[in-house]
A and B are shown apart, each in its own frame.
Chain A
């Protein structure tokens, strides 16, 4: 059988000046998640990633990239742009967390409310959302995921290699610890 196979690897390297990052650059392991704010599986993974981060502390660098699948999740694209708009005001992770904690409330008014609660400049936030200022960034994330072999959400990469096993706490933690050597 002549089929060509590639090992799915992260094609867009993590960059400190580009990516949304928690944890030190010197951490032995970098975990990258491609996620969709409206995807229920990403919602399940959200507290697991938090627990893994808590367990590993400075031993882990965590990166989140957008992978909204709009055909399935009508609010996902705008939610991703909202997180980027919050990032422009220095509050990416606060918005990221709020979105995952309110996955069923991702309408435009909800997003405006979260911006307000987080103390963002709401007029700027609303304008950027309305004008899709951050759509290119979201798309860049999305395409980098497609090219890296993201086939659904969430997809994780551990030190650049796609993690094809489950993202249950024990499994994910063990895979990360193995990569740490």
Chain B
């Protein structure tokens, strides 16, 4: 069986694999339930790790900018929903953290961003257009906080397309 991770993260133009994962805010969430608006998927290695904490804290601070584009931000790691809840509460993160917990890493694998050696998601970003197609993807070195500028540019490009069409 070919491992989709060999090919790296799913590229722009690929349909975003659907999923329904348990959320730190309760219930389950996934792309098909969020059609009509852009969706940002932020895969990250682990709750509590230093770089992830900084990255997600930054995204919390930038959240109002994402919302200007009508975009929903979803954080995803292999941690359980209980860890997500405690982490979100401790760091004052108000966007959903999804648990790619059972089967472990299944969604991360589907997007081509599962690190089989570490048993964690890689640090990767996807922006999905309102129809659920990947419009931008980015794989960051695990130890580097990728910031938010790439996401904002991708959202801006989507916004421009909407205006043009």
In the bound complex, residues from chain A placing their C-beta under 8 Å from that of B62 are: 146
What is the bound-complex CA distance between A3 and B58, given in angstroms? Answer: 22
| Residue interface mask A56-84, B partner, CB < 8 A = 1 | 00000000000001111000000000000
A4 at the interface (CB under 8 A from B): yes
Binds A, one of B4-12, B37-45, B77-85: B4-12
Let me know if B138 is at the binding interface, CB within 8 A.
yes
Binding site for A on B (CB under 8 A): 7-9, 11-12, 53-55, 57-58, 60-62, 65, 91-93, 136-139, 144-150, 152-154
Given contacts A72-B91, A146-B147, 7 further A-B contacts (CB under 8 A): A3-B11, A3-B139, A4-B150, A71-B92, A71-B93, A147-B152, A151-B146
- Please count how many residues in chain A sit with their CB below 8 Å of the partner chain's CB atoms: 20
- Asked if A117 lies at the interface with its beta carbon under 8 angstroms from chain B, I say no
Against B, the Cβ 8 Å flags (1 = close, 0 = not) of A118-152 are 00000000000000000000000011001111111
Q: CB within 8 A of B54: which of A2, A5, A6, A152? A: A152
> Which of B55, B136, B144 is within 8 Å of A4, CB to CB?
B136
| Complex Cα–Cα for A154 and B92 (A) | 21
Residue contact A1 to B11, C-beta cutoff 8 Å: yes
Which are the 4 A-B pairs with shortest beta-carbon distances?
Answer: A151-B147, A2-B11, A1-B8, A151-B145
| CB closest chain-B residue, reference A2 | B11
**Using Cβ atoms and an 8 Å threshold, which residues of chain A touch B93?**
71
Q: When chains A and B are docked, how far (Å) is the Cα of A61 from the Cα of B130? A: 45
Residues of B within 8 A of A142 (CB): 61
With known contacts A1-B9, A71-B93, A147–B149 Cβ distance under 8 A:
yes
Task: Flag whether A160 is at the interface (Cβ < 8 A).
Answer: no
Are B147 and A149 in touch, CB under 8 angstroms?
A: yes
CB contact list, A92-108 vs B, under 8 A: none
Residues from chain A with a CB closer than 8 A to the CB of B153 are 6
Which of B147, B153, B154 counts the most chain A CB atoms within 10 A? B147
